[in-house]
Structure 1
Amino acid sequence: MGEISIKITISDRIYPLKVNTEEEEIVRRASKMINERIKDYQENYAVRDKQDLLSMAVLHYATAVLRTENKVQSQDTTVADKVDQLDVLLDNFFSK
Structure 2
Amino acid sequence: MSEKLKINVVIAGRTYPLSVKNTQEEEGMRKAAANINHLISLYEQNYAVNDKQDVLAMCALRFASQLEISSIDKNDNTDKALEKINKLNEMLQSHLG
Question: TM-score higher than 0.5 here?
Answer: yes
| Counterparts of 2:89 and 2:80, CA distance in 1 | 14
Range 25-34 or range 85-94, more displaced: 85-94
Partner deviation per Cα, 1:60-87 (whole Å, 9 max, x = no partner): 1111111111111100100111111111
Match of 2:52 in 1: 50
Q: 1:72 to 1:2 in 2, by over 3 A?
A: farther
Stretches of structure 2 lacking an aligned partner (at least 5 in a row): none
User: Which segments of structure 1 move beyond 3 Å, counting only runs of 4 or more?
Assistant: none
The gaps in structure 1 that reach 5 residues or longer are none
Residues paired across the two proteins, number: 95
* Alpha-carbon spacing, 1:79–1:24, altered in 2? closer, same or farther (3 Å): same
TM-score normalised by L of structure 1: 0.90
Q: Does residue 36 of the first structure (1) align with residue 38 of the second (2)?
A: yes
Once the two structures are aligned, what percentage of the paired residues are identical? Answer: 33
Q: What is the TM-score when the length of structure 2 is the normalising length?
A: 0.89
Q: CA RMSD in A?
A: 1.4
